Amino acid sequence: MSDMAKKIVGVFIPAGPPPKASTFAWAQAECRSGSLREVLEEFVKAQDEPLDVSLVIVESVDSEGINGVIPCKLFDHESPSAFSTEVRFRLNPSERRVERLELPQ
């Protein structure tokens, strides 16, 4: 069955995540490997979790800065395997300052 036929029937599932808006894509690229990477690397070094800047996901961009998340895996002595968690942050590019945000309950 072609993609068009699947769309008509309602069973079409596109491969991969939907494309990000150009502002989000730009911000994410700048955080991962551009001019904002250095600021985020300093933030990552100050955290207890083993974080990787190249995994940054930008969730929103507004007048106050960039909101993002860095996924990671942690090990606990009471858990049989690693579990996934994330660190949320807000980056103010004009001040080159990053603050950690609390995870929503």
Side chain identity, residue 10 = G
Who contacts 38 (Cβ-Cβ below 8 Å, separation ≥6)?
none
**All structural domains of the chain with their residue ranges:** 20-101
Check pLDDT > 90 for residue 9.
no
7, containing H or E segment: helix 3-9
Could you tell me the pLDDT band of residue 105, with boundaries at 50, 70 and 90?
low
Integer angstrom CA distances of residue 94 from 19, 28, 40, 75, 100: 26, 16, 14, 36, 17
Torsion sign (Cα): 38, 24, 60, 102:
negative
pTM value surpassing 0.85: no
Check pLDDT > 90 for residue 84.
no
Check pLDDT > 70 for residue 101.
yes
Give per-residue pLDDT as tens, 16-71: 766 667 888 899 999 999 999 999 999 999 999 999 999 999 999 999 999 999 99
